Structure 1
Amino acid sequence: MNTPVFRFAPSPNGELHLGHAYSALLNARMVETSGGRFLLRIEDIDVTRCTPEFEAGIFRDLAWLGIEWEQPVRRQSDHFEAYESLLQRLIREELVYPAFMSRGEIRAAIAESEQQGGVWPRDPDGVPLYPAADKRLPHAERQRRIAAGEPFAWRLDTEAALSRLPAPLSWTELDDESLTTSHEVEACPQQWGDVVIARKDIPTSYHLSVVADDALQDISHVVRGRDLYQATAIQCLLQRLLGLPAPAYFHHRLILDPDGRKLSKSERDTGLATLRENGRTAVEIRRMVGL
């Protein structure tokens, strides 16, 4: 039996909070009970919001919690070329298209449809789906607009992608942290419409880089928050299209604020650095998150 490989993959665009602590500690506990490996990955493709200071804070907070990880740490910003090679493959296979509509144009198209009595579809997060009018643009027109320097994003043609698959999509969801039982979940990427796969200036996106890294690092178990449960469908689709191995998933409960809302990096009172400065100990943090 292969050694289980887990990963904790935060973005250094703010301070870690109690929700991150729970996820990291749960990963570490599952590593310990399974005899697995713990990898830390820095997901910093958003080079405008991610900073070295926040990255240093991640290392400091995890060490304070008593978590150990293997070296070297993978930083996604060091590997744009690898992601771009996957993007070029999707372009060659005509599974993505350049999307030129601005946010204002998207809002206008949706408003026009709704004024005519239509109900615009929304993704599982409640965000309106992209109108996808760009899919009808002739190839020459696409190339002309790109050459003219118009801003655009590469979007996955989800309908075309699903038509290439011989069998329904699903992922393996673990029933609990014991890793002993699981069930298959039907993946419905069409719920998300044509998601962004890369941007003009950044040749990747969260979905593309995460499936690439999970495969490259031989991740066998992805343990993360329930808020990413539905997004797994898009990652399953990309894994199948690109011939990448699929890990098993365990989407754990979320740590919520007193009003029942998901914690945010902007709420500093739940930030690990703030809690540490206020005299909280790592033992107390474990107790606060139910571990």
Structure 2
Amino acid sequence: MASNGKGMRGRFAPTPSGRLHLGNALTALLAWLQIRSAGGEIVLRLEDLDRQRCKPELAAQLPGELRWLGVDWDEGPDVGGPHVPYEQSERTALYESVLDELQRQGRLYPCYCSRADLQAAASAPHGLDAEGPAYPGTCRELTAAERAERALRKTPSLRFAMDAGAAYRFEDGIAGETAFPGASGGDFVVRRADGIVAYQLAVVADDIDMQITDVLRGWDLLDSTPRQLALYEALGCPPPRFAHSPLLLGADGSRLSKRHGSVSLQELREQFGVRAERLVGFLAWLAGLHDRIEAAKPVELIAAFDLSSVRRQTVTLPNNWIELLTGKKIGTEF
């Protein structure tokens, strides 16, 4: 990755498939604080490759919701910049050029496995991570004749061949010293059978192109890091520094969802009249930046921000989190 001469560059890259919720806001706030506390630049990028899941109206609302929270950016779909476009759905030419380079290196192979094949692999002892069961390499050693026969029945996806003998170690800014074996997760898809470029390849291509030096994202993506490190290595580019922020869970210990009530920023504003400063103070308390809930603007947290203070792995919302956030008893007028 070439130096841009401007120090640290970070990014926030949401997927516009749902309204911005507490977990997204926590990651966005921490990513913003990390970069702004170092005087760096921030990019807003929309990861909207899967057009069936992503909604244009949500993509249009995202910048406004982030600005309401109090975070800003130097480049993005609404402000432009030297790395336009900032929507992944419009960056396919870049991804195809990266795929061509990996194909030239012999690092890709077609995979004809069906969904049923992959489900069957899930019951085998190959290991499991955030990406699902490790791929057992079924199609990696197929002969040319076998591939031709399978191609008559199914359009293949493309997989990146991991080096099983490699080990990936890195110092995570929050998780600390982290290591994964090269076989972790197995060979992974870089282009789906329907032609959509997969997350792993797109995010690496974008971060290289946009000269991102520091990536702070959710803990659930920690398992993606060895795959991305392998891609950086294959493309001859040094990786960014990684930090994985705590995963925010509901009071029952499961991922945040509708069953946990009003967790989107829009719902918190409309149903409870939550102010941005109160929400920022609540998120800072959850993350471990403050020992109590105090309303604050993000800019007021910059001077004292210390990445080492951020909690690791998971943060579980207390049962009375709405009362803590609003400072009022449930059932009173908001």
Normalized against structure 2, the TM-score is what? Answer: 0.74
Partner of 1:5: 9
> Residue 65 of structure 2: which of 61, 64, 72 is its match?
61
Partner of 1:139: 144
2:110 equivalent in structure 1: 98
Which has the larger displacement, 92-101 or 8-17? Answer: 92-101
Relative to total residues, which structure has the larger helix share, 1 or 2? 1
Counterpart of 2:169 in structure 1 is 170
Residues 149-189 of structure 1 show CA distances to partners (whole Å, capped at 9, x for unaligned) of 72321112224xx56x7xx533332259xxxxxx6533434
**CA deviations over 1:40-98 (Å, ceiling 9, x no partner):** 01011111111111112211210111211123431111011111111122222221211
What amino acid does structure 1 have at the position aligned with 2:172?
E
The separation in 1 between residues aligned to 2:122 and 2:10, in whole angstroms, is 41
Instruction: Find the residue that maps to 1:136 and give its secondary structure.
Output: coil
Aligned-pair identity (%)? 35
The secondary structure found in structure 2 opposite 1:222 is strand
Over 3 Å counting, the alpha-carbon distance change for 1:126 and 1:209 in structure 2 is closer
* AA partner of residue 280 (structure 1): V
Q: Match of 1:124? A: 129
Q: Separation in 1 of the partners of 2:202 and 2:121? A: 30
* Distance apart, 1:263 and its partner CA: 2.0
Give the letter aligned to residue 6 of structure 1.
Answer: G
User: Any residues of structure 2 matched to 1:14-29 within 5 Å, and which?
Assistant: 14-29=18-33
Q: Is the 8 A contact 1:219 1:247 kept in 2?
A: yes
Moved more, 17-26 or 85-94: 85-94
- Residues 39, 150 of structure 1: alpha-carbon distance in 2 compared, 3 angstrom cutoff: same
**Would you say the 8 A contact 1:106–1:131 is kept in 2?**
no
What secondary structure does 2:97 align onto?
A: helix
Structure 2 counterpart of 1:137, one-letter code: L
Change (3 A) 1:265 1:219: farther
1:269 equivalent among 248, 253, 262 = 262
| Whole-Å separation in 2 of the counterparts to 1:43 and 1:100 | 26
Q: Secondary structure at the match of 1:39?
A: strand
* TM-score, with length taken from structure 1: 0.84
1:87–1:203 Cα contact (<8 Å) kept: no
Measure the CA separation in 2 of the matches of 1:135 and 1:210.
24
Question: Which 5+ residue runs of structure 2 have no aligned equivalent?
Answer: 78-85, 286-334
Identify if the C-alpha distance between structure 1 residues 267 and 199 changes in structure 2 by more than 3 Å, giving closer, same or farther: farther
Total equivalences in the alignment = 272
Q: CA deviation at 1:110?
A: 6.0
d(CA) in 2 for partners of 1:234, 1:266: 33
**SS of structure 1 residue aligned to 2:284:** coil
Structure with more relative contact order (C-alpha pairs < 8 Å, separation 6 or more): 1
User: Within 2, Cα distance between the matches of 1:126 and 1:82?
Assistant: 24
Equivalent residue number for residue 30 of structure 1 = 34
Match of 2:43 among 28, 39, 45: 39
